[in-house]
Amino acid sequence: MKAFKVRITAGAERDLEEIVTFLAVREGRAVAGRILDGLLDQAAQLARLPERGTHPRELLALGIRAFRQVNFEPYRLIYRVLGREVIILVIADGRRDFQSLLERRLLRWPPAT
């Protein structure tokens, strides 16, 4: 089976940078590095099994099944599968108010250029 291409959007890259920067200051660079490696590993695994993720409950409540998620506790990677491509749209701490975050970031997707 041919692998899917995994692409991280600019918004998700910013999310990742913010997480790593925050952790480096609060917990140290070693912890930040482990979290970064874990999140990138989760993203890479989607190249082989993109359908393994669950649908975010906040979107299911709205009847939206176009997006999926995988977890690297406490973080969630929200993505969409389009053809042979996995597009990672959001990487965020799952303890946040995900309802408003997803409404802001995903329900206006794709973003205007």
Amino acid at 30: A
Give, in order, the Cα–Cα distances in Å from 34 to each of 19, 30, 41, 63, 105: 12, 6, 10, 35, 26
Q: What is the pLDDT of residues 71-101, one digit of tens each?
A: 999 999 999 999 999 999 999 988 877 777 7
Q: Would 111 be classed as within a structural domain?
A: no
Residue ranges making up the domain that contains 27: 5-105
**CATH number of the domain that 85 lies in?**
3.30.2310.20
pLDDT at 113: 45
The conformation of residue 56, written as its DSSP 8-state character, comes to P
Q: Please give the Cα distance from 5 to 108 (Å, whole number).
A: 23
Q: Summarize the confidence of residues 49-64 as an average pLDDT.
A: 90
Does residue 23 lie within any of the structural domains?
yes
* Inside any domain, residue 75: yes
What pTM value is reported for the model?
0.86
Flag whether 49 is in a domain: yes
What total number of domains does the chain contain?
Answer: 1
- Residue 47 falls within a domain, yes or no? yes
What element of type H or E holds 73? none
The answer to the question of residue 96 being in a domain is: yes
Q: Is residue 113 part of a domain?
A: no
Domain annotation covers residue 45 = yes
